[in-house]
């Protein structure tokens, strides 16, 4: 028998059957209609207010003394519930957490139906520790366009023998409407992001074609200087172009190909991206750092960032001179990965660029928006220095 089953066996705590046995109080259908209209208006004008307003309306329509939302956070397993938008005498506990497998909210998610509790503090020791006493606790599952609920909406009465089937119905309908509204909002946001992403891909394709010609031209010049014969030049140039194609394929795969891959190692990815800019006689890159595995999305994002940095170095920075070198290193610190890009031996930098090109914008958006990190560029006289901090958990997706 699981812990939840043991708790549910406490029939004097879980009294859901009383909801149907008690005589429902007078139903105010006008109030219900106005509540739905209120939520719909807030959804259109200020979606951020709809969740706290749901709690306020639930309290008003049921005459409850306190209530709130418990949203489920699955990681780390088995997960927890976090209290949001609390009202009444329990408001001071906003932001607190309760265990998934030892909570009335957990029972509600398992049953996927409204649940009624009487004095649950008799069973749940964490309620006793917080000195919380709940005469009756009514919970309903909360959905956002999915089969599984994301949490619960719960209310507490002043007295015992209070809630009935009418209260459960009203709360369920309010929670259902909010779930549908939030699902519509999420769908609209996803569509907007998809359209913005498509526009970015179009601009990026044009940008990359221009860069491809610039880098190829540079390779031809470098190969011509280094080669002693047409055959040697053909070999040098062919190898570099194949490496460049492989690097571009890594970037293209994430943004256009639907094939699912398992990601790659950071060290492997960087060496593949930087390979087109290497010299056959000596290494122009020093790459150092601990093992870091990248998920599909992060693989593409990191590939795009370092492709842009390398392209910029080949067009304007250290890689424009034979003496140019680049050091790429990374370390772990707490929950972050700290990456450092340092150029040396290139032309002296007199000042930071005044105009911010698409490559710079793409790099910034990838690090900040997609990977949730920070980006700091320092245009030192002896070479560009770039520091990137990214949450490690964002690199696994």
C-alpha span between 339 and 327 (Å, rounded)? 11
| Residue 263: per-residue pLDDT | 61
Q: Are 375 and 393 in contact (CB under 8 A)?
A: no
- Strand ranges across the sheet with 374-380: 285-288, 325-333, 336-344, 383-391, 374-380
Longest dimension (CA), the chain: 98
Q: Which fold has domain 3-187?
A: Beta-Lactamase (3.30.450)
CB neighbours of residue 77 within 10 Å = 7
| Residue 182: per-residue pLDDT | 60
Q: Of the spans 9-23, 142-156, 168-182, 369-383, which averages the highest pLDDT?
A: 369-383
Listed range (26-35, 44-53, 198-207, 266-275) with the worst mean pLDDT? 198-207
Q: Say which residue, 2 or 379, is predicted with more confidence.
A: 379
Distances (CA, A) of 155 to 3, 68, 168: 24, 7, 10
Pairing of strands 325-333, 285-288: parallel
List the one residue out of 188, 192, 169 whose CA is nearest residue 180.
188
Q: Say which residue, 316 or 256, is predicted with more confidence.
A: 316
Q: Average pLDDT for residues 316-320, to the nearest whole number?
A: 89
Percent of the chain's residues with pLDDT above 90: 35
**Domains 3-187 and 227-395 fall in the same CATH topology:** no
| Residue 174: per-residue pLDDT | 82
Q: Say which residue, 328 or 176, is predicted with more confidence.
A: 328
Q: Say which residue, 370 or 148, is predicted with more confidence.
A: 370
Radius of gyration of the chain (CA): 30
Q: Which residues contact 323 (CB under 8 A, 6 or more apart)?
A: 345, 346
Rounded mean pLDDT of the chain? 80
For 374, counting Cβ atoms within 10 Å of its Cβ (0-12 exposed, 13-18 middle, 19+ buried), the class is middle
| Residue 233: per-residue pLDDT | 67
> Predicted confidence band at 213 (pLDDT cuts at 50, 70, 90)?
low
Q: Say which residue, 307 or 356, is predicted with more confidence.
A: 307
Q: Of the spans 11-15, 178-182, 386-390, which averages the highest pLDDT?
A: 386-390
CB neighbours of residue 154 within 10 Å = 29
Q: Of the spans 7-16, 167-176, 289-298, 341-350, which averages the highest pLDDT?
A: 341-350
C-alpha span between 48 and 182 (Å, rounded)? 10
| Residue 232: per-residue pLDDT | 65
Q: Average pLDDT for residues 91-101, to the nearest whole number?
A: 93
Q: Say which residue, 315 or 221, is predicted with more confidence.
A: 315
- Ordered by start, the domain boundaries in the chain are 3-187, 227-395
Residue 205 scores a pLDDT above 50: yes
For helices 165-226 and 230-256, give the axis angle rounded to 10 degrees.
170
Residue 384 scores a pLDDT above 90: yes
| Residue 248: per-residue pLDDT | 53
For 397, counting Cβ atoms within 10 Å of its Cβ (0-12 exposed, 13-18 middle, 19+ buried), the class is middle
| Residue 230: per-residue pLDDT | 75
| Residue 177: per-residue pLDDT | 75
Residue 33 scores a pLDDT above 60: yes
Q: Say which residue, 250 or 298, is predicted with more confidence.
A: 298
CATH code of 227-395, in short, is 3.30.565.10
Residue 354 scores a pLDDT above 90: no
> Predicted confidence band at 264 (pLDDT cuts at 50, 70, 90)?
confident
Q: Say which residue, 318 or 307, is predicted with more confidence.
A: 318
Residue 333 scores a pLDDT above 50: yes
Q: Average pLDDT for residues 242-270, to the nearest whole number?
A: 59
Q: Average pLDDT for residues 207-235, to the nearest whole number?
A: 63
Q: Average pLDDT for residues 224-238, to the nearest whole number?
A: 65
> Predicted confidence band at 255 (pLDDT cuts at 50, 70, 90)?
very low
Percent of the chain's residues with pLDDT above 70: 74
Q: Average pLDDT for residues 124-144, to the nearest whole number?
A: 91
Paired with 155 in beta bridges are 67, 138
């Amino acid at each position: 028998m699981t812990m939840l089953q043991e708790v549910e066996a406490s029939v004097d705590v879980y009294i859901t059957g009383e909801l149907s046995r008690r005589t429902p109080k007078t139903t105010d259908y006008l109030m219900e209609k106005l509540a739905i209209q209120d939520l719909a208006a807030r959804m259109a004008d200020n979606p951020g207010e709809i969740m706290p307003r749901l709690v306020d309306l639930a309290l008003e329509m049921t005459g409850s003394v306190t209530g709130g939302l418990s949203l489920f956070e699955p990681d780390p397993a088995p997960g927890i519930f976090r209290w949001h938008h609390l009202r009444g005498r329990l408001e001071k506990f906003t932001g607190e957490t309760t265990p998934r497998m030892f909570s009335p909210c957990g029972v509600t998610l398992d049953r996927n139906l409204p649940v009624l509790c009487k004095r649950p503090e008799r069973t749940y020791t964490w309620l006793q520790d917080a000195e919380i006493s709940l005469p009756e606790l009514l919970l309903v599952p909360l959905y956002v366009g999915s089969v599984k609920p994301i949490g619960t909406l719960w209310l507490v009465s002043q007295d015992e023998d209070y809630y009935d089937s009418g209260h459960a119905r009203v709360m369920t309908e309010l929670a259902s409407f909010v779930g549908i509204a939030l699902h519509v909002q999420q769908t609209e946001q996803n569509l907007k992001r998809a359209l913005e992403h498509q526009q970015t891909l179009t601009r990026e394709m044009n940008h990359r074609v221009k860069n491809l010609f610039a880098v190829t031209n540079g390779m031809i010049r470098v190969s011509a200087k280094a080669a002693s014969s047409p055959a040697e030049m053909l070999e040098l140039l062919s190898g570099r172009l194949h490496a460049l194609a492989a690097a571009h394929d890594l970037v293209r795969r994430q943004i256009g190909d639907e094939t699912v891959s398992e990601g790659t190692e950071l060290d492997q990815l960087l060496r593949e991206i930087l390979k087109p800019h290497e010299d056959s006689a000596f290494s122009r890159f020093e790459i150092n750092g601990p093992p870091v595995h990248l998920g599909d999305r992060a693989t593409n994002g990191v590939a795009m960032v370092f492709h842009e940095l390398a392209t910029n170095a080949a067009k304007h920075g250290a890689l424009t001179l034979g003496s140019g070198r680049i050091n790429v290193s990374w370390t772990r610190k707490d929950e972050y990965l700290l990456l450092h890009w340092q150029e040396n031996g290139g032309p002296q930098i007199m000042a930071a660029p005044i105009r911010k090109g698409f490559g710079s914008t793409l790099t910034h958006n990838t690090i900040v928006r997609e990977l949730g990190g920070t980006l700091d560029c320092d245009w030192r006289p002896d070479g560009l220095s770039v520091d990137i901090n990214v949450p490690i958990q964002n690199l696994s997706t």
